[in-house]
Amino acid sequence: MNPLPLGLLPDTAEVVSDGSLAIGGCRIDELAERFGTPLFVYDEAHLRNRCREAVAAFGPGNAYYATKAFLCTAMARLAYEEGMGLDVASGGELFTALRAGVPAAALAFHGNNKSVAELRMALQEQVGHLVVDSVEEIDRIEALVAGGLPRPRVLARITPGVHAHTHEFIATGQDDSKFGFNLGNGDALRAVDRLRRSAAVDLVGVHCHIGSNV
C-alpha cells in the first residue's frame, strides 16, 4: 500500500514518532478510542487558512462560505472571523448563523423554494442580500414589503444555459434546471425588468451557479 501524501490531509496533519497520524496535535487513534467511529474531525487551522486564502483572492466582503458544506455555530463564527460572508439557504441556516453572532448584513440568503415564513425572517433581520429564484418569490417579497417589512437588496438568479459536464445530479446551470430564471427563453430578462421596476426591492446584481465542484 502506498502512503497517503500529507498534502491531501489537513494543514496540521503529521506522522508522529510511532507512525500514527495526528491532526492539530491530536492523535487520531486516540480520538477514535475516545469518541468512537465513524468520526468527523475538523482542523480549525486548516479551515481558517482556506478562508484567508479566499478573502485574499477576492477581497473582504466578496468571499462567502456556503453553509450547505457544513454548518454549526462554531463554523459560522470561524468563517465570519476570517472575513467571509455566509451563504445560507434555509430558515434553519439563517437562524444558526445569527445565533453564532454573524451580522445579518454579512449573509446572502439563497434557495429555490423559500417559504413565506423564511422570507419574512430574512426581511425582518435585514439580510445583506436576498437571491431571488422565481416569479412566485418576487410575488411573496412584494406582498411582505407591502405589509410593512423592510425593502431588501436582491440578486436575480440567472440560469445561463451552461452545462458543467460534471455529475448530472449536481449540475445547476443548464436550461432545464429547477434553479433560477432561464436566460435562453427570456425569463431572466423579464425577471430583471420586473425587479428593476419594483418598488419593493433594490436590485443590485445577478447571480449564476453552473454546478457543484465548479
Domain with CATH 3.20.20.10 in the chain: 46-207
Quick one: pLDDT at residue 159?
Answer: 84
The domain 46-207 is placed in CATH, from the list 3.30.1380.10, 2.40.50.140, 3.20.20.10, 3.30.590.10, at 3.20.20.10
Residues 6+ apart with CB under 8 A from 43: 10, 11, 12, 13, 23, 24
Asked if residue 112 lies in contact with residue 84, where contact means CB atoms within 8 angstroms, the answer is no
Quick one: pLDDT at residue 173?
Answer: 46
C-alpha to C-alpha distances, 108 to 88, 207, 210, nearest whole angstrom: 6, 11, 18
| 10-residue stretch averages of pLDDT, the chain, 214 residues long | 77 91 94 96 95 95 93 98 97 98 97 94 98 95 98 92 58 58 88 97 89 59
What's the pTM? 0.86
Provide the total of helices (H) and of strands (E) in the chain, helices listed first: 7, 10
Alpha helices in the chain (DSSP H): 28-35, 44-58, 73-81, 91-99, 116-125, 135-146, 187-197
Quick one: pLDDT at residue 6?
Answer: 77
In order, the DSSP letters of 51-108 are HHHHHHHH-TTS-EEETTS---HHHHHHHHHTT-EEEE-SHHHHHHHHHTT--GGGEE
Give me the torsion for CA of 24, 30, 7, 55, rounded to 10°: -30
Quick one: pLDDT at residue 161?
Answer: 57
